[in-house]
Structure 1
């Protein structure tokens, strides 16, 4: 097999500042999931009293004012809010503890990996401080070779989900602030030299190729070899690492391209120093041409739905593969070929199953509403959260859109902040499109005008609009005419209305299923009249908990805009949306006459 070693690949996601082991499921690891001891620390006394040492009294006369072994228990992964009534509305510090035993072996690298902790995590192993991580939805890790003991070990994590003005997201959100160790914890047992990171993408053109990047960590030499195989494509390449432990290679190949209709995934194998990492990767391209979104060079219309990382049955943070399959299966049943994962990075299972099911993905970081756009430190946090998301998910074919913001105010400081972030995203990953959800359209005599200057920076314009719910009557929505100052694809990333499942009445009575269906029908007429429209993701798949929604006997702290109830029961609007998608699926994505019937 012919192949080329290269030094720089402009269309590969760049080298990353964030150190994360790629594809932890394909490594040797000990799961630290299960029951953990917890102490609620509302007044933050645990640091002073050194909870992290897990001190056990040596005699009855020794005063120690905490005891993990007799304390409350919580399941990890999981939020604390839905595991104890006293924690349902709690925001503050909770100390987590668990013991585990390790048969520590020589010539191994041990890495402690957290899928996500909301929001601040301080981690201690055997009383020693490992480090701190900020951000509630992205993974982080620590090298624990020097701290880990053969035999019994004590792991303590201080978790704090208190909201602060300089956090991302900031003080106010429209979803529940679930606290805790919300995703899996693993102790990775790696070789003394191992491939920690890799990226595999498809390069189209007259000479199509697969392009791969590898990064080794630990013990390796300049001439250490990496073997890269894609058996189904007869690819078997060997490449040497450089002095920094990196290698890049181009291999001529013409794979079958991944599409929502046929989500082809290829098994890949990366062998290094006798160990192998396996993955399943799809190959596709995404681009824009004027108002068209191009998938593998062909126009595509995105029939979508927005999704929160909420348990399919009731409340709580979703985290498992079973949860992901349920949520994404509902999207497929609705007729979707695309999902918007709002408003933060979802768990890795959602992305991998989207790959399998053929669902294109809009992935987002929680630059949400009015964060501190004038702060350089806050900007760095946004950049870090995006980089951590990209590092974990860069090999997922399903992701075609990186979203960097939702419903931010229209002013120069915000536009400068987001413009800088767009440039960073493009530099790190030139293989995908950048978008953001904007709700700052101008009102005109005929409807709405997309004129936010920030729209000039993104590849695809996301629009949130709630005609017929927060403004105007449902009937007026059908007469809206939208114009854009930018020759770019538009996705209506949110629209909708609230309804309590099972509450019926006049179609103009708010919160009835009939009213929600009415709002949808007239909004869909409006969407049919948008000539730049190339996708939709109504708000939202299912009802979800929100502290901003207190209306008794209707909301009861649930956002009721779901097409499904909190327990997955379909509302009338579900069928309205499903019928529209069935018709859209029959229409060519590039047929402007079928997509634009405004009669302008």
Structure 2
């Protein structure tokens, strides 16, 4: 039973609630997992600070005025609150009993994500603060815990209106509009407690080396390491194949190489997403201080000329734009099954991966991408990063982006980084804030991860000369015009986004791998007509057959280009008023998925090493042009080539 059904059944008395129900109770950090933990999802006290009190003294010693179902944001239906207005300050309060078995150990309080500026008090003592709405953080709360009695956790989340901060697709107006959606304030991912020793592991960095058939594992240790041993064990299908025992000495990071026996080497790929298990044990004087488990995939990502390589072979990236929003949970998936379903739906439609768009997806999504062989590009939630206004880039963008890189570095499904999206500013004879932030985010990405390609910004303002990858966004709906615009890549003159008057936004293209990272966006709805509340890009097709013809012709332009390494089609699902998904907002198919899969899955020209022209390309484009004379316009201010 899903969350919505369960809530309805509980409220109607159809089922008896025997114990407190905990939503999203699965372990939140699957690539660095410990056995002992306590999920704090479920009912918390909640209050919107409309009086501007803002200080903990007003909230610590009394019940707050309402309740909320964590981890769902108060704007969502599943939270039980469902407030749609601007929530600039909200408070959470909960009493927790620490398990007796944890006595003598340190206790960490984890938040997987809380939007945007968070301050936490435990038993009246401030234990920490964090800025940013998309990355996890933790506080050691041991010294604030009393020897007896429950622990009172108080959380304040500030999400200021009009303050420059990374918001992604959250609306800066009261209502949704164009490609902006309902806001998320406060806690929106799992909250949990974890007992640890003073000497313990921190999240390891796992780097595969396909050529040598080995993993490099960097294991940070916290606390005193004198006399401490670390066991690292690599297993395959339950069989231990490598064990390393290291005396840590005085070092804070242990660097271990795990060579895989030749007969057990198996590369990770979309067709065979094989994973190895890695276990860690920390000991001192024969006593186990810490143990954790992880996993890894043996694969390589590379560039050869204009080709993107996976395991040394050309792989055309057939990506879909995934916004990661849900009708009742907003940015929070109602259940873990919803995460899996989104990946499987995309694969059923013929996509081999996704741009995880304008949102840092939760870690369990990446876990399922790893095990299902689904390629993803990691992205930050900073749409536009306008040099003034709601998402003006600031130094904290770099800080928060580093947290993303550190969290997701070891996932084999992640094949590229995209720190910015659709920044736009005219090129000028000066170094601007946008120049500095773009270059800073690019350089820090390359410094932390030298193994994956990085694009400085997806679409619009490319500001790093010679970045690993170059791209464009093009929502032209006429396939003939689209082909003309995208046709200059072979001559070194690809389509580059500019201002409407032709003013340059980007540094020149330097011959690096290139892809169209947003296209399509074709409106289609079976429940309403095109309008500002139901829109896509360009003119709306009158029939579903026109939709197929247009989509196939647009796909064909990119698949047939021998210089194009991939594409990203907009988009996986409808999102609120944006009706240009392959699936509806509630994940029902709008089209024949087998037909869409067949359109995509013919060999791409770059995979064959020579141009391939779809035999129906010209006729489809011609039919589309003829049909365009009878199309209905989609009336929306969102006609910009923008996602």
- Secondary structure of 2:203 counterpart: strand
What is the 5 A alignment of 1:161-172? 161-169=159-167, 172=172
Partner of 2:183: 177
Cα deviation, residue 482, structure 1: 3.4
Partner of 2:132: 135
The 3 A distance-change label for structure 1 pair 576 and 175 is farther
What is the 5 A alignment of 1:110-509? 110-150=107-147, 151-169=149-167, 172=172, 174-205=180-211, 207-218=212-223, 220-232=224-236, 234-253=241-260, 254=262, 255-273=265-283, 274=288, 275-311=290-326, 315=330, 317-318=332-333, 320-372=335-387, 378-410=393-425, 411=427, 412-413=431-432, 414-440=434-460, 454=463, 456-468=465-477, 473-480=478-485, 481-483=487-489, 484=494, 485-503=509-527
The 3 A distance-change label for structure 1 pair 194 and 378 is same
Tell me, yes or no, if the aligned pair for 2:76 and 2:82 is still in contact at 8 Å: no
The 3 A distance-change label for structure 1 pair 319 and 504 is closer
The 3 A distance-change label for structure 1 pair 509 and 453 is closer
State how far apart, in whole Å, the 1-side matches of 2:92 and 2:274 are.
41
Partner of 1:50: 57
Q: Which moved more, 1:351-360 or 1:489-498?
A: 489-498
Q: Pick from 26, 35, 39: which aligns with 1:31?
A: 39
- Secondary structure of 1:176 counterpart: coil
Cα deviation, residue 537, structure 1: 1.6
The 3 A distance-change label for structure 1 pair 329 and 193 is same
Partner of 1:16: none
State how far apart, in whole Å, the 2-side matches of 1:330 and 1:462 are.
26
The 3 A distance-change label for structure 1 pair 574 and 370 is farther
State how far apart, in whole Å, the 1-side matches of 2:279 and 2:336 are.
23
Partner of 2:588: 569
- Secondary structure of 2:441 counterpart: helix
State how far apart, in whole Å, the 2-side matches of 1:385 and 1:596 are.
44
The 3 A distance-change label for structure 1 pair 148 and 427 is same
The 3 A distance-change label for structure 1 pair 462 and 26 is farther
- Structure 1 length normalisation: TM-score? 0.82
Cα deviation, residue 403, structure 1: 0.7
Partner of 1:95: 91
State how far apart, in whole Å, the 2-side matches of 1:23 and 1:208 are.
21
State how far apart, in whole Å, the 2-side matches of 1:595 and 1:240 are.
60
Cα deviation, residue 491, structure 1: 2.5
State how far apart, in whole Å, the 2-side matches of 1:358 and 1:326 are.
14
The 3 A distance-change label for structure 1 pair 91 and 302 is same
The 3 A distance-change label for structure 1 pair 94 and 268 is same
1:236-276 CA distance string (max 9 Å, x none):
10112242422112233353111110000011111112242
Tell me, yes or no, if the aligned pair for 1:215 and 1:247 is still in contact at 8 Å: yes
1:484-517 CA distance string (max 9 Å, x none):
3332222222112343521588999627563654
Cα deviation, residue 417, structure 1: 2.5
State how far apart, in whole Å, the 2-side matches of 1:589 and 1:52 are.
61
State how far apart, in whole Å, the 1-side matches of 2:247 and 2:294 are.
21
1:219-249 CA distance string (max 9 Å, x none):
x333411100113362110112242422112
State how far apart, in whole Å, the 2-side matches of 1:466 and 1:588 are.
22
Q: Which moved more, 1:527-536 or 1:515-524?
A: 515-524
Alignment gaps of 5+ in structure 2: 1-27, 173-178, 495-508, 531-535, 619-643
Cα deviation, residue 475, structure 1: 4.6
The 3 A distance-change label for structure 1 pair 474 and 591 is closer
State how far apart, in whole Å, the 2-side matches of 1:478 and 1:44 are.
55
Q: Which moved more, 1:345-354 or 1:420-429?
A: 420-429
The 3 A distance-change label for structure 1 pair 209 and 314 is closer
The 3 A distance-change label for structure 1 pair 140 and 595 is farther
The 3 A distance-change label for structure 1 pair 180 and 575 is farther
Q: Is 2:31 the counterpart of 1:75?
A: no
1:13-59 CA distance string (max 9 Å, x none):
xxxxxxx9994543411111101111111342242x72342x24xxx
- Secondary structure of 2:144 counterpart: coil
Cα deviation, residue 474, structure 1: 4.9
Cα deviation, residue 386, structure 1: 1.7
- Secondary structure of 1:544 counterpart: coil
The 3 A distance-change label for structure 1 pair 44 and 530 is farther
Cα deviation, residue 167, structure 1: 1.1
Cα deviation, residue 157, structure 1: 0.9
What is the 5 A alignment of 1:5-24? 23=31
Q: Which moved more, 1:87-96 or 1:262-271?
A: 87-96
1:367-421 CA distance string (max 9 Å, x none):
320334899x954312222211122222211111111111111435223421222
1:87-131 CA distance string (max 9 Å, x none):
123332221111110135444121100000112211111111122
The 3 A distance-change label for structure 1 pair 240 and 51 is farther
The 3 A distance-change label for structure 1 pair 538 and 372 is same
The 3 A distance-change label for structure 1 pair 315 and 252 is closer
Tell me, yes or no, if the aligned pair for 2:44 and 2:67 is still in contact at 8 Å: yes
Q: Is 2:598 the counterpart of 1:589?
A: no
The 3 A distance-change label for structure 1 pair 259 and 528 is closer
Q: Pick from 49, 61, 65: which aligns with 1:41?
A: 49
State how far apart, in whole Å, the 1-side matches of 2:374 and 2:339 are.
12
Q: Which moved more, 1:254-263 or 1:104-113?
A: 104-113
State how far apart, in whole Å, the 1-side matches of 2:241 and 2:416 are.
31
Tell me, yes or no, if the aligned pair for 1:81 and 1:178 is still in contact at 8 Å: yes
RMSD over equivalenced CA pairs, Å: 3.2
Q: Is 2:571 the counterpart of 1:540?
A: yes
Tell me, yes or no, if the aligned pair for 1:38 and 1:94 is still in contact at 8 Å: yes
Tell me, yes or no, if the aligned pair for 2:227 and 2:249 is still in contact at 8 Å: yes
Tell me, yes or no, if the aligned pair for 2:72 and 2:187 is still in contact at 8 Å: yes
